[in-house]
Every structure is written in structure tokens, then in C-alpha cells.
Chain A
Amino acid sequence: MPLLECRNVSRYFGGLRAVGGLSLTLEPGELVGLIGPNGAGKTTVFNMITGIFPPTEGEVLLEGRSLAGLAPYRVTQSGIARTFQNIRLYKEMSVLDNVRTAMHADRGYGLFDALLRTRRFGAAERRLTEQADALLERMKLSARRDEMAGSLPYGEQRRLEIARALATAPKLLLLDEPAAGMNPSEVGDLLELVRGIQRDFGLTILLIEHQMSLVMNLCQRLVVLDFGEAIAQGTPAEIQSNARVLEAYLGKVATA
């Protein structure tokens, strides 16, 4: 069974069609890139999958179960996490708390445990903190643990967003332009990092990216969007030589 299936999904904003009739299937363990020119509807696809803007038509299924009607927090709890194109960390919270907050659904205690500081509260909080520390260690952010998230340099904020997404214990990770604003050496590190977490956490990853060096090296399969429609799917090599893709990116070849 595929992990994620988008069946013929469309999203309209008023009269504007952002995505139309997109079908997309992700098998467990796949690393797939979603590419396309600016305004092609890539982030809208993420917003449909996570329930922020549910599809106007069609449906999204996670492990065969429809996500229709689920609020975003329920979608996340069922195993989909994401990062954001323009970083959305909790700036005035510590790095550690950014990660621990994402474990709220798995906190393991109730309101009265918290208010009365029961033994269960103490044990559960220690477990949460240990798990969060392990994630920070994995993302090379341990040294920043107690700093405010907003004070971190850009590259580290991107890594913290990934750490926070992983803290929700996802099966599917959606990365929205993780390499935006990074220099070539940082992009190289990111490539290793994404491969590493995919292996270690047994994740399926769908990523939006404009940096072709990253996409071509990292992804097993690519989906190309243009004007809200999938114009090509295939391996990086196939996509590179696809005439329709070249046309979408570079314009139509003039014919005499």
C-alpha cells in the first residue's frame, strides 16, 4: 500500500485554480522531489496534504485512510510533519522548547498531573526532555539548546525546523525549500543530513526545492508541476531530458 496518495486533487482560491487534478503516490521509504517554476502550486500541494487548505476536489489518503475533514493538528498527529518555506519557528521560545512543544500530543500526562506536579508529570517531562535533547544532538544543535530560536543563524534555524518536525514522530516529512538561502557548502551538508535522517528515522520524504544540484543528487523520483498540473514524473535523468519540463522552465523552442 502506498504511504501517501493524492487522488486527483484540485484547489481553487475563488476563481483561481492553484492546483488542478493532481495525482501523486509516495511509496514507503521514497525520497521524492516536487519541482516547478515559481507559482506552479508546489506549496499549495503541501497545504492540501497537511489540511491547512483542504483540496476543493479529490482526496488525500495516508496509508489508505482519507484525511478529508481532519484539522491540521490531527493530520500531524496521524503522521505527517512539515517545515516552512519562510521559517516559522517560535522565536521567543528556547531551542529546546521549540522541539518539546512538538511532542505535546505524546506528552503522556494530563492537565491535573501538570497542575499538581505528580510523579507521572516528572517522569514524562524527563522523557520528553531526553528525546528532545537526542534530536538536538542529531541535528547538531545541542550547543544552542537554551538560546532563543529567533537568535539562531539562518542555517541553524532551518535545521531546528527539521528537528521540530521530527519531534512529532512523522512517517512522512514534507520539506519546503530546505536549502533556500544556503551557500553551496551548506547545501552539501544539508544533503547528507536529509539522507541521514531518512535512513535513521525510516522516513518517506517529499521535498520542494529550487536548487537543482540538491534535487538531482538527492531524489529518487521527481514530480514536475507547472500551472498547477503535473507535467512530468520520473527519475532525475528522465526529467532532465523531458521536453515539456524544459519548455516550462525555459520557454518554448522557436520553430521556424
Chain B
Amino acid sequence: MRSRFFVVTGAIVGLYLILEMLRRTGIISLYWAQIMDLSLIITISAVGLSLIYGFTGQFSLGHAAFYGIGAYTAGFVSKSLGGGAGVAGFALALLAGAAAAGLVAFLIGLPILRLRSDYLGIATLGFGVIIRVLLDNSHKLSPALGGAKGMLGVPQLASFVWIFWLAVGAILLARNLIASSFGRACISIREDEVAADLMGVNTTALKTLAFVIGGALAGLAGALYAHRYPFLHPSTFDYLKSLDVLLVVVLGGLGSLTGTVVTAVGWVFLLEWLRAILPAEYLDLRGVVYALVLIVLMIARPQGLLGGQSAKGGKRRAVA
């Protein structure tokens, strides 16, 4: 038990040091470093949706909205502080982004989490549209938010060390949750909500818990995004972007955290790789290739890349 802990910790620290060195020496170019950071940010957000949909079974089409709330809240806090508060100010902005998204998840979760599957999907979709419209009109609230013209001037404080370790932390947090009684209760809701209720599980509280933690992780991802890419625009947090995260979670395999993480990173790199190899005039074909990958994978492995390990070892599914 102990030795495994040290091996895993050693591997993660080693990975970090190698990546950091490759970046410092320029072997990983600034361009690909930026893509790597984006892949980790998307991972944090996808882990959040994995908790909500993959493990608790609550179909959500509004994940990008939490991502946007986190980005705009954190961006606004940082911009107001003017970058003078340094690391403490940055940490505060990240916390504010995650907390704001978590709070909104709690407030909208109360009325809509009683809905089941398709209906919940439609309600979260509506929520995503509302947030998009609010962001488009955000300049009426405060000119600093920029409205439909987009938001500039958020200090770019999210370095690789922050992004990497927050991603590790998010994954660890999710893993610990899933491998606890709370996680088992969430999975039981996905499996059979009526039975879970009758076995003493407060389904409302646990669905809300998953929704709040998942939303807060998306908020954290958005907060990092705001401090890594200098231009925030409402279209980045459009409800269509919710589909991207949903696809990552489904492709990775519902109920597989490893699948979510691997797919999130792989997906971001796949899109960029396509951009690199396709001639400029065919760049739009990216969407076709991407859709084809989806269709082929759903035919070949409907349970997702790493889903359904269950067939081999029973214990794997709940923990992996």
C-alpha cells in the first residue's frame, strides 16, 4: 500500500519534471506548450462532467456554462485586483471561479435535478443558452467584462506548474470521491435511482453533491483558462462547447475516470494534430475526421475507450 503510493507519487513528480524541462529547453515549442496546457484544462473540466454524468448518471448539456462562469468570475476578480496581488490574488481568483460555478450549480441543481435523463438534458441545455446570452450582455453589468466584444486584460498568471498540479489535484479528488461511500452511492443512483432511494441513499443530496463538485471543477478549469489565454469571448463558452466535453466523457467510457483523462488529453492533441497536417484550405475537414472517429468508435466500442473493464475484473469499474 505504502510502496504503491510512493511509486505513483514518484511517477507524477517525474512526469512533471520531464515536461517542465522539455518546455524550458524549448524542445516542446511555445505553441505545443500552449496546447498541452489546454489539454490539462479540458481534463479538469471533463473530470467534473465525468462525476456528474459518467458516475452519477445525470445527463448534462450545460457544462460549458460552468466553465464560462468560472472563467469570467476569475477573470473579473484578477482584473479588478490589477495583477498587483501576485500569487495570493491569483489563488483567490481561482477559488472565486470555482466557488461561483459551484454555487450556480447548487442553485440550478435544486429545481432541475429532480428531472430524469432527457428532460434534465433539455433543462441544462437551456441553462447553457441563458449563460451564453448573459455573457453576451455582460458589459451592461460591468464594462470590464466586455460583453459580446470579449474580455481582454486578464493577467496571464497560469503557468505550467499551476495547471499541472491543479489537474493532478482534481483527478485525485475525483478518484478519492469515487472510491468512497459517497462515490458508491452516486454510482448506485446511476444504476437504479429508485433502488438507491430505498436502500437509504439520499439521492437528492448526492446528485446535488456530484453536480456542485463537477460544476466547481469546470469553474476551476475556466478560471485557469482565463489566466492562460488572453482573450475571453462568450463563444468559447457556448452551449455547443458543452458537447465537446460530453463527447470526451462518453468516448472515454462512462464510469471510467482513467478513460476521461486519457480521452481529454488525446482529444485536444488530435484536433491540433489535424490542424497541423491538413492543408489550410482543407482545415474545415477537421470536423469531418473528428465526426468519423466518433462514429467508428461508437460502432466498434459503444462502451467507450476504457469503459466496461468490468467484464474482466469486478472491482476495476468503480475505482478505475
Measured CB to CB, the residues of A under 8 A from B are: 50, 52, 71-73, 76-77, 81-82, 84, 88-97, 100-105, 107, 109, 111, 114-117, 121, 125, 128, 145-148, 164-165, 167-168
Contacts and interface: CB of A to CB of B under 8 A. Distances in A.
Interface in B138-196: 173, 176-177, 180-185, 187-188, 191-192, 194-196
A7 B200 CA distance: 24
Contacts of A72: 197-198
A147 B184 contact: no
Contacts of A104: 181-182, 184-185, 199-201
Contacts of A95: 314
Contact of B198 (A82, A92, A100, A148): A82
Q: Which of A93, A94, A102, A148 has the most chain B CB within a 10 Å cutoff?
A: A93
Contacts of B184: 93, 97, 100-101, 104
Nearest to B182: A114
Nearest to B188: A101
6 contacts: A52-B194, A73-B201, A81-B199, A93-B191, A101-B188, A164-B199
Given A73-B200, A90-B191, A148-B310, 17 more contacts: A52-B197, A52-B198, A72-B197, A72-B198, A89-B195, A92-B187, A92-B317, A93-B317, A96-B315, A97-B184, A104-B181, A104-B184, A104-B200, A109-B181, A115-B180, A146-B313, A167-B199
Contacts of A109: 180-181
A11 to B, nearest CB: 17
Nearest to B185: A104
B207 to A, nearest CB: 12
Given A111-B182, A115-B173, A73 B198 contact: yes
Nearest to A90: B191
Q: Which of A81, A84, A97, A146 has the most chain B CB within a 10 Å cutoff?
A: A97
The 9 closest A-B pairs by CB, nearest first: A114-B180, A90-B191, A146-B314, A94-B314, A107-B181, A76-B200, A88-B195, A105-B200, A102-B199
Interface in B292-315: 310-311, 313-315
A148 B177 CA distance: 21
Contacts, number: 114
A177 to B, nearest CB: 16
A116 B191 CA distance: 26
Contacts of A125: 180-181
B177 A147 contact: no
B242 interface: no
A88 B314 contact: no
A59 to B, nearest CB: 20
Contacts of A88: 192, 194-195
Q: Which of A84, A104, A168 has the most chain B CB within a 10 Å cutoff?
A: A104
Contacts of B311: 148
Contacts of B315: 94, 96, 146
A81 B314 CA distance: 26
Contacts of A164: 199
B78 interface: no
Contacts of B313: 146
Nearest to B310: A148
B29 interface: no
A92 B191 contact: yes
